[in-house]
């Protein structure tokens, strides 16, 4: 009898322990889902009105930095160093203008500036590093399919404005977005850039010839 009671007591405890484990796993799973969902919610956005032309831009705080959440679309009169993709004004309205590096360096409104390579690194580190930050920085819309990994949980809302090449042709709208930094590379005539792609969730760091037309984001001074 003693052995039977002991056996029954062990089985009862085992059933209780199993039930407790199931409850704990469910609670843990629910907590993890809640945390993951919360982490994918983008931060709230404010707005900034460019006093030069009255355009209103969404801005967002990511970590300790304030960024434009849209590509800059400021046209400098009598300046032939910025372009609408394919010379189509509608693309400027959606994707912003493309600027050569010299123009991009000083085109941000007062109180804002073109981000340095180090400031881009700070943003990307906050968003999880180069292999993962791209998805958190890409807009959920405006990209060609497949827009892989795009959650825009950072609020950066990166759009694929493409590039204007040195031969005055355009390519890449809908598939790639590349943004200037203010930092020159060790190669004369080249500056550091960051790129996002429609078919991946990474951020690419590279250099680009300063005469290319690329997108511009502004960061607060």
Confidence class of residue 82 from pLDDT cuts 50, 70 and 90?
very high
- Look at 31 and 141; give whichever has higher pLDDT: 141
Phi-psi category of 49—alpha, beta or left, where left has phi over 0 and alpha has psi -120 to 50?
Answer: beta
Nearest to 57, CA basis, from 201, 128, 159, 163? 159
Chain segment 97-122, per-residue pLDDT in tens: 999 999 999 999 999 999 999 999 99
Q: What is the pLDDT of residues 145-179, one digit of tens each?
A: 999 999 999 999 999 999 999 999 999 999 999 99
For 41, 100, 106, 135, 153, the CA distances from 143, given in Å and listed in that order, are 20, 23, 28, 12, 16
Domain borders along the chain are 1-39, 45-220
Of the two residues 13 and 185, the one the predictor is more confident about is 185
Contacts 24+ apart (CB under 8 A), 88-91: 91/161, 91/173
- DSSP tag of 116: P
**pLDDT score for 41:** 80
Residue 211 burial (10 A CB sphere; 0-12, 13-18, 19+): middle
Given a cut of 80, whether residue 38 has pLDDT beyond it is no
Task: Look at residue 55 and tell me whether its pLDDT is greater than 50.
Answer: yes
């Amino acid at each position: 009898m003693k052995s039977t009671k002991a056996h029954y007591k062990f089985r009862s405890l085992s059933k209780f322990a199993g039930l407790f484990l199931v409850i704990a796993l469910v609670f843990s799973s629910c907590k993890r889902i809640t945390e993951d969902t919360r982490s994918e919610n983008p931060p709230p956005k404010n707005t900034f009105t460019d006093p030069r032309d009255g355009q209103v831009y969404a801005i967002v705080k990511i970590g300790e930095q304030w960024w434009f959440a849209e590509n800059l679309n400021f046209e400098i009169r009598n300046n032939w160093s910025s372009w609408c993709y394919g010379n189509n004004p509608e693309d400027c309205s959606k994707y912003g203008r493309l600027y050569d590096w010299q123009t991009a360096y000083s085109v941000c409104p007062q109180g804002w500036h073109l981000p340095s390579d180090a400031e881009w690194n700070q943003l990307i580190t906050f968003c999880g590093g180069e292999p993962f930050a791209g998805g958190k920085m890409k807009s959920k819309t405006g990209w060609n399919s497949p827009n892989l990994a795009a959650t825009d949980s950072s609020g950066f809302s990166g759009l694929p404005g493409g590039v204007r090449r040195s031969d005055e042709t355009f390519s890449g709208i809908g598939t790639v977005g590349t943004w200037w930094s203010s930092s020159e590379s060790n190669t004369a005539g080249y500056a550091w850039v960051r790129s996002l792609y429609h078919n991946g969730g990474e951020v690419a760091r590279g250099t680009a010839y300063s005469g290319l037309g690329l997108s511009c984001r502004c960061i607060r001074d």
